[in-house]
Structure 1
Amino acid sequence: MPQPSDLLTRLAVSTVIFALRPDHSGRSVLWTPLVRRTREPQRGYWALPGGWLPPNEELEVAAARTLRATTGLAPKYLEQLYTFGQVDRSPGARVVSVVYWALVQSDEAARASAGPNVRWVPADTLPALAFDHNRIIEYALWRLRNKVEYAEIAHAFLGETFTLAELREVYEAVLQRSLDPANFRRQMIASGRLRETGERLAGAPHRPPRLYRYDTSAVTAESREPFMRERPAS
């Protein structure tokens, strides 16, 4: 058995992608695409999109390239998540993976490459994946659920403008709990992070709901308190 010092070290990039899609009941949940490994080790297992890092390519460029090659996706939101480098995470060599995460809108996800080697699965009900990729996705979910309470990350799942109901649907899917509509509206308006566009959703029956957009210029250090805490019932 090779000793840790004898293992060849290789550098790779992988990407965790999250998109909102309906489950079998019609409820929006987080989905992530997986790719089937076509070579050893762990041939036939599902894994995160990724690949080796060439010596002359920047990390984010490599992450975007491998993502586009495996899934056809080119997300606008692509951020470095964490570096996973445990000695025994891959047999035969020490593989250090710089992992990115990407958030995509549902219409963009619908245009992703399809085929026998690409599969979308609910992010909270994963099969057994190659290497430590279950652990990586679990970590990405933890980061997303913490960050959504502090930052304007939910807009990555939406268009430039959105209704409060659409925004609440994102929060409910990410946080895995129902949110009181009136309470949600009060908290989001009071946060100062939203601005009315003066327009309403086209094609909606009855009175169309107002459209909003994020106002990042209104976010200050003092306003970065968690703003999606459910308040106790009075």
Structure 2
Amino acid sequence: MADAVQLVQSYPQMPLTVDCVIFGFEENKLKVLLIRSDLEVYKGKWSLLGDIVKSTEELDDAAYRVLRERTGMTDVYLKQVQTFSKLNRHPGGRVVTVAYCSLLNIRHHELQITDNELHWQSVRSLKDMAFDHKEIIDACYNWLQKSIQEHPLGFNLLPEKFSLRELQNLYEAILNVELDRRNFRKKFFSMDFLIDTGELEEDVKHRPGKLYQFNFDKYEKSKRKWIGIDF
């Protein structure tokens, strides 16, 4: 045991951090939760929510701690996506970070901690950011775009009852493409996971559309993969 301790103590010491990429959907826009950097070298620039992993923490525990301490939210699922280890990614020296990602409906997850420097920013508007955080967001965005075509992640962002117009708006916002209306609807009806509620939209300026629900039970039982779906 002593030999093992001595061996570990001889290893190079390198800081390990976690960064949380929290995507949100609101007003037909994909957004990400950011905070102003507190480092002078990045003064005024946006950065992700992150912190050093404590020696007593698992990676997952560190990510959830960061989310809880910065936002007050405790009911958000985080997925470990990728590790970033470029030599010059931190101005203070070598730091390795592990990115965690989540996708939520902003209206259903209110920030419990009020911070004037904490804001939802449109993903499309992001440019120069602190550290390599734009690169991290881009990598997580690519992961999200791939995941939403393989699994029904997007349905958690919609109301319990939604129109096909709302569904298409969601996918167009996340995939950042304009989808053909007829082909999009044909694809979803062919998967047979939509339940027609028999109800119509209310208080809308356009012609009211039918309202649907997603059949999560049927999806889970079928274990059907969405891989290969091309909208």
Give TM class, smaller chain.
0.7 to 0.9
Gaps (5+ residues) in structure 2? 1-10
1:138-197 per-position Cα deviation (integer Å, ceiling 9, x unaligned) = 1111111122222212123224543322221110111122223332222111113x1416
Aligned counterpart, 2:227: 225
Q: Cα deviation per residue 1:1-26 (whole Å; 9 max; x = unaligned)? A: xxxxx98511111111111223xxxx
Match in the other structure for 1:212:
213
Q: Which amino acid aligns with 1:200?
A: E
Q: Which secondary structure state, in structure 2, belongs to the residue aligned with residue 16 of structure 1? A: strand
- Paired residues in the alignment total 217
- The answer to whether the aligner puts 1:196 opposite 2:198 as a matched pair is no
Task: Provide closer, same or farther for how the CA distance between residues 59 and 159 of structure 1 changes in structure 2, counting only shifts above 3 A.
Answer: farther
Amino acid at match of 1:211: Y
Partner in structure 1 of residue 96 of structure 2? 96
Structure 2 distance, partners of 1:162, 1:74, is 26
CA distance in 1 between partners of 2:84 and 2:223 (Å): 32
- C-alpha spacing 1:171/1:155, structure 2 compared with 1 (3 Å): same
Change (3 A) 1:186 1:93: same
Task: Give the aligned residue type for 2:172.
Answer: E
Aligned to 1:168: 168
TM-score by length of 2: 0.80
Q: Between 56-65 and 160-169, report the one with greater CA deviation.
A: 160-169
Matched, 1:33 2:36: no
Distance 2:41 2:151 in 1: 38
- How many Å apart are 1:108 and its aligned residue? 3.0
Are the equivalent residues in 1 in contact too, given 2:26–2:107 (CA < 8 A)?
no
**Counterpart in the other structure of 1:132:** 132
Structure with a larger share of its residues in helix:
2
Structure 2 CA distance, aligned partners of 1:76 and 1:164?
A: 26
Change (3 A) 1:186 1:95: same
Deviation of 1:58 (Å): 2.2
After superposition, the Cα gap between the structure-2 partners of 1:149 and 1:93, relative to the gap in structure 1 and judged at 3 Å, is same
Q: CA RMSD in A?
A: 2.7
Counterpart-to-counterpart distance in 1, 2:45 and 2:13:
23
Paired with 2:125 and 2:172, the residues of 1 have a C-alpha distance of 17
TM-score normalised over the length of structure 1? 0.79
2:8 aligns to what?
Answer: none
Partner SS, residue 95 of structure 2 = strand
Q: What pairs up with 1:8-19 in 2 under 5 angstroms?
A: 8-19=13-24
Structure 1 residues 120 and 150: alpha-carbon distance in aligned structure 2, compared to 1, 3 A threshold = same
- Residue type at the aligned position of 2:98: V
CA contact (8 A) 1:7 1:94 kept: no
- Distance in 2, Cα, partners of 1:102 & 1:58: 18
Answer yes or no: is 1:72 the counterpart of 2:91: no
In 1, Cα distance between the equivalents of 2:85 and 2:22?
20
Greater mean alpha carbon deviation, residues 111-120 or residues 141-150: 111-120
Deviation for aligned residue 1:118: 1.1
CA distance in 1, matches of 2:72, 2:200: 30
User: Residues 75, 132 of structure 1: CA spacing in aligned structure 2 closer, same or farther, 3 A cutoff?
Assistant: farther
